[in-house]
Amino acid sequence: MRAAYLDTSFLLAETFGDVPGRRKHRLTDFDVLFASRFLEAEFLSAFRREGLVPQRDLLTPIQWVDAGRSLGEELGRV
């Protein structure tokens, strides 16, 4: 099984057809997609900023990840 954790820049680049040639993966290459709810907010915000109707169906296959707590300790170590 192939899984991917999506970030907003990748999803928007693929959505708007702006995937640089160096990227070799497409969303359809993965069996499972994970993302933070921040991706949802940023994705919808980008569509609003561009005056476009959001393609919400692109969010349907995503399994949402929620840490349920602050990640401050881990981020501090990194």
Q: Give the CB-side neighbour count of residue 35, counting CA atoms within 13 A.
A: 20
Predicted TM-score (pTM) of this structure: 0.71
Predicted confidence band of residue 49 (pLDDT cuts 50, 70, 90): very high
CB 4, CB 30: distance < 8 Å: yes
* C-alpha torsion sign, points 39, 41, 42, 48: positive
- Report the distance separating Cα 53 and Cα 51, nearest Å: 7
Tens of pLDDT along 8-39? 988 888 888 765 555 556 778 889 999 998 89
pLDDT at 24: 57
